[in-house]
Amino acid sequence: MIIKSNIKTYEIIFSEAFSFIEELKELENKFIVIDKNVYEKYSSLFLCFDQKDMMIIEAIEDNKSIDTALQICERMTALPSKRNSTLISFGGGIIQDVTGFAANILYRGTKWVFVPTTLLAQSDSCIGSKTSLNYLKFKNLLGTFYPPDRIFIDNGFLDTLSETDYLSGLGEVVKFNVMSGRKNFNKIVSDIDFLTNRDYCLLKTYVINSLNYKKTFIEDDEFDLDVRNLLNFAHTFGHAIESVSHYAVPHGQAVSVGMMISNIVSNNRGLLSTDIKEQVERLCGKVINVALLPEYFSLEPFIGAMKNDKKRVGMKLAGILMDSDFCLHKMQDIEEDEIREALHEAKKFFCE
C-alpha cells in the first residue's frame, strides 16, 4: 500500500513469518530501537543486528520524552555515514512517537523504517505522520509531522500482545468500521466475536481496510486542518477518559468509551437513532475492560479534561458527533449538561 504525503511518499509492506527481517539485515548504517518487551519476546529475530547499534527502550509514557529522542540522535551521530543512516524502530505507538520525532529532527530528516508491533500501531497510528512527545506533564505536547519511509506489518507480533493491548487496538478498528458507514458497521457486528478470539486471517482484512479508510483522510489533509479532524471521532471524549484515569485505560479502549459517550450526546440531540446507539454500545462492550471503568465517570474531572483538549476553540466543548446515516459532524457547541447526562447514562451501561 502506498501513502502519498507532502513530506515523502511512503509504503506499507505486509510480511508473513517475519520474512521482512532479511531486507532490513542488508541495510547499511542502521540504528535499531526496540521496545523492551518486543526485544525480550523475539530475541532471536534481532540476533542479526549489531548490539552496539541497538537501543532497547521500555514502552512507558515517561520515555516518550525529549531526553529519549535526544539520546537516539546522539547514538545515531556515532554511525559512520551520518546523513545516509537509517533509523529502524520496532514497537507500538510509544516507540513510534519518540523514534519518529528523533528521525525528524536529526539532520532535518533521517531515513526511518517502522515495524509496528501492537494492533493499534498496525491498524492506525503507523500512518498519518504524527510524532509526539510528552512534556511538562502534558501528553503529546510536542510534536511534528514526519512519516516513516517504509512500514513493515507482520501479524506474527500480535501473538504475545496482552489481552488489554489487543483489545485496545481492536477498539480503533471498531471505531473505523462504525464511522465508515452502514455496510462496514454491519460487517464488524457479525465478525466481532471472531476478532476478539484473534482470528488473525480475518483481522488482516480489517487492518488493511482500516488503513485504507484512514489513508483517504490523511492524503487529503495530512496536516489536520480540515477533513482529517473527523478522524477525531470518539477521541475528545476518549482523551478525557485517558486523562482522568491517568492512562490506566489504554488509548483504544478509551476511544471505544468515547464513542459511546459521543453517541449518547448525539442520540439525546435527536441526531442518532437509539437502535444504532445501542448496537454500537454492544460492540464497544466487547472490547472494553468494564472492570476498569466506572470510577472514571466523575463529571468535574471529565469536563476539566475536555476543556484542556488541544483542539477546543471557544468556551463550549467540542466533539465529533455521528448521525443515523453514519455521517460525522464537527460540533463546537456541546454543553456541560449534555456531558453530565451522557456520563450518567454510560455509567449505567457499565454498572448493570
Ligand X SMILES: NC(=O)c1ccc[n+]([C@@H]2O[C@H](COP(=O)([O-])OP(=O)(O)OC[C@H]3O[C@@H](n4cnc5c(N)ncnc54)[C@H](O)[C@@H]3O)[C@@H](O)[C@H]2O)c1
Give the interface with ligand X as residue ranges (CB under 6 A): 35, 37-38, 41, 59, 61, 64, 91-97, 117-118, 120-121, 125, 128, 130, 132, 140, 157, 160-161, 165, 168, 250-251
Q: In terms of DSSP bridges, do strands 10-15 and 2-3 run parallel, antiparallel, or are they unpaired?
A: antiparallel
Phi, psi dihedrals of residue 11, rounded to the nearest 5°: -130, 140
Position with the least CB separation from ligand X? 93
Looking at beta carbons only, is 15 or 160 nearer to ligand X?
160
Residue 271 C-beta: closest distance to ligand X, Å: 27
Contact 147, 127 (CB under 8 A): yes
The sign of the CA dihedral 15, 101, 228, 282 is positive
- E strands along 46-191, which residues? 54-57, 86-91, 111-116, 130-135, 138-145, 150-154
Q: Kindly tell me which of 187 and 247 has the beta carbon lying closer to ligand X.
A: 247
Q: Quote the least distance from Cβ 6 to ligand X, whole Å.
A: 16
CB of 80 to ligand X, least distance (A): 30
Q: For the purposes of burial, counting CB atoms within 10 Å of the CB of 179, is it exposed (0-12), middle (13-18) or buried (19 or more)? A: buried
Instruction: State in angstroms the smallest separation of the CB of 54 from ligand X.
Output: 16
**Which residue, 95 or 342, is less far from ligand X as judged by CB?**
95
Nearer to ligand X, 195 or 342 (CB): 195
Give me the half-sphere count of Cα atoms (radius 13 Å) on the Cβ side of residue 204: 11
Closer CB to ligand X, 162 or 332, in the complex = 162
CA atoms of 121 and 257, how far apart (whole Å) = 19
| Residue number, 126 or 272, with CB nearest to ligand X | 126
Q: How far is the CB of 87 from ligand X (least distance, A)?
A: 15
Output the smallest distance, CB 148 to ligand X, in A.
Answer: 11
Angle of helix 93-105 versus helix 66-77 axis, rounded to 10:
60
Where on the phi/psi map is residue 291: left (φ > 0), alpha (ψ -120 to 50), or beta?
Answer: alpha
Cell of 139: 501528553
Residue 276 C-beta: closest distance to ligand X, Å: 25
Separation between Cα atoms, residue 312 and residue 177, nearest integer Å: 26
Q: Measured from the CB atom, is 93 or 319 closer to ligand X?
A: 93
- Helix axis angle for 182-196 and 274-285, nearest 10°, is 20
- 172 vs 281, which CB is nearer to ligand X? 172
Beta strand segments in the chain, E: 2-3, 10-15, 30-35, 54-57, 86-91, 111-116, 130-135, 138-145, 150-154, 317-322, 328-334
Cβ at position 285, least distance to ligand X in Å: 20
